[in-house]
Amino acid sequence: MILQDFKIGWQNKFEQRLNALERLFPDITLQSVERYKGMLRVKFTSLDNDIQDVLDSVTYKIERESAQTCEGCGKQGRRTEEHLP
């Protein structure tokens, strides 16, 4: 699992999409996964420039979406730094 260090809201929303990228492009490398200013930032790298463009645009979209998705429960909302139960 790529998002093992994150909460269930982000896992449910983004894990499958990240797995799909790895299935689609078996030669890519997961370089980093981090929480940055309340957003999920994922960086994949590829030796192929066209694939790199695809990876960057998909992960950019996930980053923007994560800014509006509660990491704790997956609900849409404003950017949240932490989940308040």
Instruction: Kindly tell me which of 33 and 73 has the beta carbon lying closer to Zn ion.
Output: 73
Closer by beta carbon to Zn ion, 38 or else 72: 72
Name the one residue in this structure whose structure tokens are 């950017």. 79
Smallest separation, CB 9 to Zn ion (Å): 6
Point out which residues bind Zn ion (CB under 5 A): 70, 72-73, 83
Name the token pair of 17: 């999409």
Residue 25: C-alpha distances to residues 16, 18, 48, 82, 83 (Å): 14, 11, 10, 32, 33
Minimum CB distance to Zn ion, residue 74 (Å): 7
